[in-house]
Structure 1
Amino acid sequence: MNTYMTAGAALLLTTTAAMAGGIDRSGQFLGPLFEEGGETGSYFQFSFGNVSPEANAAPLPGPLAALVPSDPLDSYSSLGFAFKMDLNDQLSAAIIVDEPFGVNVEYTDGAFGGSPLTELDNGRAHIGSTGVTGVLRYELNNGFSVHGGVRAQQVAGEIVSTPGFLQAESDFNYGYVVGAAYERPEIALRVALTYNSEIENELSGTVNFAPIDDFTVTFPESYNLEFQTGVAEDTLLFGSIRHAKWDGFNLTAGGAEYVNFSGDTTTYSVGLGRRLSDSLSVFATVGYEEAGTRPSTTALAPTTGTTSYGVGATYTMDQIELTAGISYVELGDQTVNAAPGVAFDFDDNSAIGAGFRIGYNF
């Protein structure tokens, strides 16, 4: 029954979650920690996802038509790795590497675009991150377990906005994770709650190629609830709820404010898995996130809220599990103000995500 949960989680992590609120990418879930592993209790996982989003600004009349930007959302890919091992009958450990946060937005024309001869005037944000989580899990004798560990996070990127061209990067800075779970294997029940602490990344960089003082960006604390339960023979219901405290997230560098978010986000997902044979299972997922602040506080966020639909399958052969999934995401409408009396309504926005995962039990 574990296969369903890990298969569904792989799809959610590499596709649907990659368009979640704030600048969430991976969702920071700890699914590999609960893998049973093979004869030695060990498990290795590699995952890859690709997302192709699109945001469309509605036309404006007359001379304002030239100000309407084309689709500013860029496609992107993400990688993930995980290794889990049993240390004894009750204690296990996992290392999870992911890309927790990111942005890929660029305006090449219209009001926020620059000269066709240079990209330095194009309004854009290209931000990436790497997270490394080391976590221990201790199983009690009554179905309960507790887990906790350390998360290291590094970020880097560039933003072109009204204050100028910002380039910056950080070393690894640290936070922690802590949580608990309850399991009843006879009905494939598992409920796990995890708290992810905020992480303060210290960045250094330049504005318009001139060095600036180091500055701090605080990435938000969050709560993840993951669950699964058998609902019929060979059928599993699974899902997750993630609440991230993005309200107040701020990026101020060189005395200028580049980003300021004004709302928390809660992302819901639920899926149903069905085993068709000893080697093949299929699943479907639905996800939802309520729209945030309108109009947008920045042109670098031309959509808000999501509704997603996904399908996928897992094929098992000996010690190897192969999972693939695809999802369609409806990206919520958003309004972006360009100047007094000039605003762009982004509607009919969407994304296609695809991902696969290889798991090896040994």
Structure 2
Amino acid sequence: MSENKIHIFDTTLRDGEQVPGCKLNTNEKIEIALKLEELGVDIIEAGFPISSPGDFASVEAVAKIIKNATVCGLTRAVQKDIEVAAEALKHAVRPRIHTGIGSSDIHIKYKFNCSREEILERAAKATKIARNLVDDVEFFCEDAGRADNAFLARLVETVIASGATVVNIPDTTGYCLPHEYGAKIAYLKNNVPNIDKAIISCHCHDDLGLSTANSISGIINGARQIECTINGLGERAGNTSLEEVVMIIQQHKEMGFYTNINSKLLNPISHLVSETMRMPVQANKAIVGANAFSHSSGIHQDGFLKADITYEIINPVEVGAEESKIVLTARSGRSALAHRFHKLGYQYTKADIDVLYDQFLKVADSKKEVMEDDLNELASAYGKKEAVV
């Protein structure tokens, strides 16, 4: 397997579902899981089996139907959790148990009320139990973003020695700066003797708006898996956005990385997840937002109409979006107005547009956006040219 492949681990069905109001039933999880497999994700985290009978049933159903991707179930570092997850995943072609425990002194003291040594013992035990049940075990070192690097390295070494095939280094609270998170990954690569026996994974949260940047910093420094969600859904401010990291990797080929994602399916699955989970996508969201390929400033519109590369680094077709939009507002210029009239079939000269532009600005100053009906009214009032049929 290429050392430059970045494995895409999608946790929309688990971490994304933890958003209040976004609970999914089994049929909804199956529908989204099938689309994730079609998209090309490598691992689908289907849920937290022990958390409820419904979640167990959903993980089991997804495990039965997915044929190409790895299906993953989350657990705590508790034997019963792990055994229940293994039962839910028993029909999976490629099952993975994702277990773990806190790694920062904050979590060790306040959440577990134990010592670092006890954490190491519990981590080793949980990993061994999981590895006896499945061949693919991922261990998460919760709150690794705030963990002491030397202890974190001991924990990573311990779980790899106990059978972990993937080690997840979560920035659980979204605290790290990109250079700090990247340095943490590099530290592990350089200070864990058996690090070559496992894949390092990035699981970054967006509390400070840095989840995507941290994930990219992580792979630059040696991680080879990114954990993410469609539309960046997740606890609190969300997780790393799948569509963002995939397109960064695709656009910045100089990094040398690649994924198996079919980027043309990004917008369709974004819409499906938004509708199914009842969570609207903000208009200015990168890649999949309604305004991601819209232009309303006259300066931008003029440049874009001369050569789209002036203001777009991604062709909307690449991500399954509709064509770029020229939105008419009071900030729009004559070239944008002429373009929109032309699309409606009106053939106006430059002199015609100069006259129409003054009338257009009066309309534009009275509303947020000038629509097709407004343009047809302007053309009708002008009366010089008729629409071309």
Q: Which gives a bigger RCO, structure 1 or 2 (Cα 8 Å, sep 6+)? A: 1
Please give the TM-score of this superposition, normalised by the length of structure 2: 0.29
Give 1 or 2 for the bigger CA radius of gyration.
2
- Give TM-score, length-normalised by structure 1: 0.31
More helix by share: 2
